[in-house]
Amino acid sequence: METTSKQFTVSVYTENNIGLLNRISAIFQRRHINIESINSSVSEIENVSKWTIVVNLTEEQMKKIIGQIEKQVEVIKAYYHTEEEIVYQESCIFKMKSDLLFNEQQIQNIIIDNNARIVTVNKQFFVLEKSGRKEEIELLYRELSGFGIMQFTRSGRIAVSKEEMKISKILEAINY
Amino acid sequence: METKTIQKQQKTQPQTERLSGSEAIIKCLLAEGVKTLYGYPGGAIMPVYDELYKCQDQIHHVLTRHEQGATHAAQGYARISGEVGVAIATSGPGATNLITGIADAQIDSTPMVCITGQVASHLLGSDAFQETDIVGISTPVTKWNHQITKASEIPEVMAKAFYIARSGRPGPVLIDITKDAQFEEFDFSYKKCTGVRSYKAIPETDKNALSAAAELINNAKKPMVVWGQGVILGKAEAAFKAFIEKAGIPAAWTILGVSAIPTEHPLNVGMVGMHGNYAPNVLTNECDVLIAIGMRFDDRVTGNLATYAKQAKIIHFEIDPAEVDKNVKTDVAVLGDAKVSLKAILPLIHKKSHNVWKRAFDDLYAIEYEKVIKNDLHPTKEGLTMGEVMKEINIQSKGEAAIVSDVGQHQMIACRYANFNQSKSNITSGGLGTMGFGLPAAIGAKMAAPDREVVCICGDGGYQMTIQELGTIFQQKAAVKIVVLNNEFLGMVRQWQQLFFDKRYASTEMTNPDFVAIAKGYHLNARRVTKRDELAEAVQEMMQSKEAYFLEVCVEKEDNVFPMIPTGASVSDIRLS
Ligand SMILES: Cc1ncc(C[n+]2csc(CCOP(=O)(O)OP(=O)(O)O)c2C)c(N)n1
């Protein structure tokens, strides 16, 4: 039995429903599993939501949890993936003092080298945005932290799988 | 020309009538075939009660004495009839009082719809009087739940609620309806729900899985079946019987599975699990193929998983994909409806009889009989045993009664020793082990099956958790036979204290009231038995009574239930003393 924890990215296709966040997060909570990040949005199919959840657990646990998620009435289908099986992005924003932009030459280079983007600048502060993989964001954070970060926030992961997820086919196949 | 179009429109559009939300709720219940529901009124559900008042001739509302009682009564109703049980309550405390029964129905897969009133939608989230987030609270213990804030949602949501509660693996559904939605008028029409796109009630049975299972079964030398409530819920009793008879396989049951085939069936080898029979527990670790049907390998059944049936190939017939490989890794999983799968596998199975293997069960039964059963059923000591009370009930019922039990030692004794000739006859709280379940569940069972004898077996502890339902029994004239096996202890906990906590009886001794006087206070026939020579006659009097009857039997105070698999031990390390 696999006993080491790994990071998995879960994709869940659901009906759009008020109570579902509660239902899905309760599945993790009940088993004392921390959700690293969770994101819900529209999907490629009309009226179908897509959730992307990042968790650390064993594959054995992961399989059971997928079963529990799919068991929920309003869940259409759930998948789990390792990092190699997906293309993902996370995004983050930094708020920093505007002086830094003009006084610290290095800042300009960090922005360019990291493919970050200045969203807005005013007298007091500027806002920097960066999308990318987890390590890229962590790197940028490390490089900027010496200069004093006023505010930082990072989004949940969003991901697409390399393999097809046959949601439309599943929906077609459900005749009711 | 104009009239023609109008006529055409009328044909294609469903017939509607202008109704209030609460009228609509009653119409929905009637359309779903609900004749009886259990509940308790209060502010936020009063419009619905007003309609119940007007529709008394079509739908019978039973006022229980506590909302928990309403849920257990609805469960008893569902368990004996196979229909959806319905409970109704007001917002706030009314709604929270339903939770234990809902959790019980969830873990025991009982079809139930609960309707709760809610504060008006403009007050939601304002901490209004008797507002509680019952949808949030009930989420982890419901199969589905939903809040209605507009009357126009009622027909579709109610139809969906009943469909979800009864289809696939059944379970409880809670529908919360704001008070304004109960008053609001709208154009009502009803269409039964036949499917929900994101919900697959029953997975298809896979032919390859069936043939793989059949091959294992046909080649098995020492096969054993363990069946659970799935056989009953799937109405698969006949298909199940045909299957084990053709394959000649000894079959053991979980406490929710019992009664699917008659107790006296020659292939019935008894109960598995913590207080189950010696033979099926021991031989679980000797069989070569274990065929699990409609059961979920609960820890009370498997004991230590690391040593559970490791030598055997495991076949799992199961409707819920999430149960497969959850606790026990299977070699072949046959997903689908038990009846469909069992019918489909029958022609693939070779006719066999495993006589030598079956004898291994008989031999171990003989040991259990000598060490345990004989003393339970035919005691020679002075004090009365719970087992001999069950024996007398069996004699009187001839196996035709439904036995509703509460939770504790008496429950294990009732399940071990009750005789059943009919399916859906053992009604007990299995997965949740809810003390207080018995008495109200017996009311629901009796009302769903008035022609059947319903005997409720309680301990003196659990009985007092829902004792107030004696009022419901009296008011409804529900002819339930109530037996309290009084050992003046919370017996099951005391047994554990004796065995595992050096007899430190922390808060398990009970100073009890005069139970007979209490029953008489509710105008019930009541009697107390303290001696063996009174027992048979008292049980006979109870069983022959046309009305409700209360019988208290004062049993040995410190008897223990054996066999027993201590927590964490292997099924084959089951103790006989
Ligand atoms: C609501 C609830 N609370 C506590 C328990 C724990 N418990 C299990 S059995 C038991 C003792 C039951 O005593 P009694 O009803 O007298 O039955 P007996 O075991 O003596 O037959 C207790 C306290 C439970 N199962 N349910």
Which positions in chain B touch A174 (Cβ < 8 Å)?
195, 197-198, 200
Q: Is residue A169 part of a domain?
A: no
Residue A163 maps to a domain:
no
pLDDT of A174 reads 61
Residues A77 and A127 in one domain: no
Which chain A residues are closer than 8 Å to B146 by Cβ?
19
Domain shared by B184 and B222, yes or no:
no
Say whether pLDDT at B13 is over 80.
no
Q: Is residue B157 part of a domain?
A: yes
pLDDT tens, position by position, B255-305: 999 999 999 999 999 999 999 999 999 999 999 999 999 999 999 999 999
> What positions of B carry a catalytic annotation?
67, 129-130, 179, 492
Pairwise CA distance, residues B102 & B68, whole Å: 9
B254 contacts B302 by C-beta, under 8 angstroms: no
Q: Select from A81, A114, A147 the last residue of a domain.
A: A81
Is residue B333 one of the residues assigned to a domain? Answer: yes
Q: Does A47 touch chain B (CB under 8 A)?
A: no
Strands B60-63 and B36-40: parallel
CA distance A164 to chain B (A): 19
Residue A107 vs residue B7, higher pLDDT:
A107
Alpha-carbon Rg for chain B in angstroms: 25
Confidence bin at B165 (pLDDT 50/70/90): very high
Transcribe B396-444 into DSSP letters: HHTT-SEEEE-SSHHHHHHHHH---SSSS-EE---SS--TT-HHHHHHH
**pLDDT confidence band for B148 (50 / 70 / 90):** very high
- Cα of A59 to nearest chain B Cα, Å: 13
Minimal Cα distance from B173: which residue of A? A73
Same domain for A75 and A110, yes or no, is no
Q: Whose CA is nearest to atom 11 of ligand 1?
A: B490
From B416, B435, B567, the mutation candidate for ligand 1 (largest count of ligand atoms within 8 A of CB) is B435
Same domain membership, residue B548 and residue B405: yes
A174 in contact with B, Cβ within 8 Å: yes
Q: What is the DSSP letter of B568?
A: T
Total count of domains within chain B: 3
Q: Considering all CA atoms of chain A, what is the largest pairwise distance in Å, rounded to the nearest integer? A: 66
CA distances from B416 to A15, B271, B420, B498 (A): 45, 7, 11, 22
Q: Are A110 and A41 in contact (CB under 8 A)?
A: no
- Indicate yes or no: CB of B197 within 8 angstroms of CB of A19: no
Question: Do residue A104 and residue A153 come from a single domain?
Answer: yes
Q: What would the two tokens of residue B342 be?
A: 């069992």
Per residue in B92-113, pLDDT tens?
Answer: 999 999 999 999 999 999 999 9
Cis peptide bond upstream of B563, omega within 30: yes
Q: B462: closest CA among B497, B426, B487?
A: B487
Position B11 in a domain: no
List all residues 6 or more positions away from B549 whose beta carbon is below 8 Å from its beta carbon: B479, B481, B482, B524, B525, B526, B527, B541, B542
Q: Does B325 touch chain A (CB under 8 A)?
A: yes
- Tell whether B352 and B411 lie within a shared domain: no
A11 and A76 both lie in a single domain: yes
Q: Could you tell me if A12 and A39 lie in one domain?
A: yes
Interface touch B326/A67, C-beta < 8 Å: yes
What percent of chain A clears pLDDT 90, i.e. is strictly above it? 84
Our mutation pick for probing the ligand 1 site, out of B274, B492, B501, B567, counting the most ligand atoms within 8 A of Cβ, is: B492
Q: Which residues lie closer than 8 Å to B13 by C-beta, 6 or more apart?
A: none
Cα angle vertex B21, ends B15, B24, to 5°? Answer: 45
> Treating both helix axes as pointing N-terminal to C-terminal, what angle do B491-500 and B409-417 enclose, rounded to 10 degrees?
100
What CATH number does the domain containing A32 carry?
3.30.70.260
- Per the listing, tokens 């507009």 go with B150
Domain boundary among B325, B360, B395: B360
Q: Map tokens 């997820």 to a residue.
A: A165
Query: Predicted confidence band at A165 (pLDDT cuts at 50, 70, 90)?
Result: confident
Mean pLDDT, chain A, whole residue set: 93
Judge contact between B227 and B251, C-beta under 8 A.
yes
B337 and B439 housed in the same domain: no
The amino acid at B90:
T
Four-residue CA torsion sign, B528, B534, B537, B540: positive
Which structural domain range is residue A136 located in?
Answer: 87-158
At B374 the pLDDT is: 98
* Interface contact A18-B195, CB threshold 8 A: no
Torsion sign (Cα): A108, A114, A117, A118 = negative
Strand partners, A126: A96, A121
Instruction: Give the residues across from B483 on adjacent strands.
Output: B457, B551
A31 touching B (Cβ < 8 Å) = no
Q: What is the predicted pLDDT for the residue at A170?
A: 77
Across the interface, which of A23, A26, A174 has its CB nearest the CB of B197? A174
Return the pLDDT at B188.
98
B199 to chain A, any CB pair closer than 8 A? The answer is yes
Contact B260, B231 (CB under 8 A): yes
Ligand 1 atom having least distance to the Cα of B406: 15
Atom of ligand 1 nearest to the CA of B487: 20
Distance set, CA B501 to CA A86, A161, B411, B495, B505 (Å)? 53, 54, 22, 9, 8
For residue B420, is it within any domain? yes
Give chain B positions within 8 Å (CB) of A26: 139-140
> Does B521 reach chain A within 8 Å, measured CB to CB?
no
CB B88 within 8 A of CB B115: yes
Neighbours of B249 (CB within 10 A): 25
Contacts of residue B452, Cβ cutoff 8 Å, sequence gap at least 6: B80, B400, B401, B402, B445, B446
- Whether B368 is in a domain gets the answer no
Contact between residue B198 and residue B231 where contact means Cβ atoms under 8 Å apart:
no
Q: Say yes or no: A73 and A127 in one domain.
A: no
Q: Which of B143, B164, B198 minimises the CB distance to A75?
A: B198
- Asked if B60 and B110 sit in the same domain, the reply is yes
**Residue A167 predicted with pLDDT over 60:** yes
To test the contact with chain B by mutation, choose from A13, A28, A72, A73 the residue with the greatest count of B C-beta atoms within 10 A, namely A73
3-state secondary structure of A154: strand
**ipTM strictly over 0.95?**
no
Let me know whether B352 and B481 are in one domain: no
Element (H, E) at B279: helix B278-284
The contacts of residue B303 (CB under 8 Å, 6+ apart) are B274, B281, B565, B568, B569, B570, B571, B573
Q: Which residues of A touch B198 (CB under 8 A)?
A: 14-15, 73-76, 174
What's chain B's average pLDDT?
A: 96
| Distance, CA of B410 to CA of B418 (rounded, Å) | 11
Instruction: State how far residue A67 is from chain B, nearest Cα, in angstroms.
Output: 4
Give the pairing type, strands A6-15 and A75-81. antiparallel
Residues B383 and B355 grouped into a single domain: no
Please report whether residue B180 resides in a domain.
Answer: yes
Q: A55 and A77, same structural domain? A: yes
β partners of residue B482: B456, B550
Answer whether B518's CB lies under 8 Å from B439's CB. Answer: no
Neighbours of A60 (CB within 10 A): 13
Task: Looking at the structure, tell me whether residues A15 and A73 fall in a common domain.
Answer: yes
Domain boundary, last residue among A55, A81, A107: A81
Averaged over A137-151, what is the pLDDT? Answer: 96
- The alpha carbon of residue A88 is apart from the nearest alpha carbon of chain B, in Å, by 26
A165 falls within a domain: no
Confidence tier at A2 by pLDDT (50, 70, 90): low
Q: Are residues B262 and B341 in the same domain?
A: yes
In chain B, residues with a C-beta closer than 8 Å to the C-beta of A30 are: 140
Nearest-angstrom CA–CA distance, A51 and A77: 11
Is 80 exceeded by the pLDDT of residue A173? no
Rounded Cα distance between B165 and B83, Å, is: 10
B144 at interface of A, judged by CB pairs closer than 8 A: yes
- Residue at A125 is within a domain: yes
- Sign for the CA dihedral angle at B279, B285, B286, B288 comes to positive
List the beta bridge partners of residue A64. Answer: none
Per-window interface: A 52-111 vs B, CB < 8 A: 63-64, 67-68, 70-71, 73-76
> Are A146 and A93 found together in one domain?
yes
Q: Are residues B138 and B169 in the same domain?
A: yes
* Chain A / chain B CB contacts < 8 angstroms: 53
Q: Which residues contact B395 (CB under 8 A, 6 or more apart)?
A: B536, B539
Q: What is the mean pLDDT of residues B181-187?
A: 98
Sorting pLDDT into bands at 50, 70 and 90, what band is B2? very low
Q: Under an 8 A CB cutoff, do B322 and A23 touch?
A: no
Name the token pair of A47: 């009226």
Output the domain CATH number for residue A148. Answer: 3.30.70.1150
Boundary residue ending a domain (A33, A54, A81): A81
Rounded to the nearest 5°, which phi and psi values hold at B19? -135, 160
Taking CB atoms and an 8 Å limit, are B321 and A71 in contact across chains?
A: yes
Q: Is residue B250 part of a domain?
A: yes
Closest CA to B331 of B291, B295, B272, B294: B291
- Please give the residue of chain A at the shortest CA–CA distance from B196: A176
Claim: this prediction has a pTM higher than 0.90? yes
Q: In whole angstroms, what is the distance from residue B464 CA to residue B472 CA?
A: 15
Regarding whether B384 and B356 lie in a shared domain, the answer is no
pLDDT, tens digit (0-9, with 9 covering 90-100), for B541-577: 999 999 999 999 999 999 999 999 999 999 999 999 9
Q: 3-class DSSP state for residue B257? A: coil
The CATH number covering residue B516 comes to 3.40.50.970
Distance of CA B557 to the CA centre of its chain: 28
Q: Which of A12, A10, A16 is nearest to A48 (CA)?
A: A16
Paired sense of beta strands B251-253 and B332-335, if any: unpaired
Domain span at residue B290? 207-360
Are A38 and A96 in the same domain? no
Q: What angle do CA B310, B574, B358 make, to 5 degrees?
A: 70
Q: What's the number of domains chain A is made of? A: 2
Question: Which among A73, A174, A175 has CB closest to B164?
Answer: A73
Q: pLDDT tens digit string along B511-542? A: 999 999 999 999 999 999 999 999 999 999 99
Q: Which residues line ligand 1 (CB under 6 A)?
A: B 406-410, 433-436, 459-462, 485, 487, 489-493
On the CB side of B385, how many CA atoms lie within 13 Å of its CA? 23
pLDDT higher than threshold 80 for residue B64: yes
Distance CA A165, CA A45 (A): 12
The number of the ligand 1 atom at minimal distance from the alpha carbon of B458 is 15
Q: Residue B144 corresponds to which tokens in the numbers above? A: 């589905």
Distances (CA, A) of B543 to B224, B313, B401, B462: 37, 46, 10, 22
Q: Check if the beta carbon of residue B341 is closer than 8 Å to that of residue B230.
A: no
Please give the pLDDT value at position B15.
83
The C-alpha of B199 sits at a distance from chain A's nearest C-alpha, in angstroms, of 5
pLDDT at position A16 over 90: no
The answer to whether B322 contacts A71, with C-beta atoms less than 8 Å apart, is: yes
pLDDT for the residue numbered A169:
79
- pLDDT per position as a tens digit, B422-470: 999 999 999 999 999 999 999 999 999 999 999 999 999 999 999 999 9
Question: What are the distances in angstroms from CA B267 to CA A145, B287, B348?
Answer: 73, 15, 20
Task: Determine the pLDDT at residue B7.
Answer: 43
Same-domain check for residues B543 and B413: yes
Closest in A19, A30, A67 to B322, CB measured: A67
Task: Answer whether residue A174 is part of any domain.
Answer: no
Q: Are B25 and B147 contained in the same domain?
A: yes
- pLDDT of the residue at B337: 97
- CA-based nearest distance B326→chain A, Å: 6
Tokens of B223: 């096969």
Residues of A in contact with B171 (CB under 8 A): none
Interatomic CA distance for residues B90 and B177, integer angstroms: 10
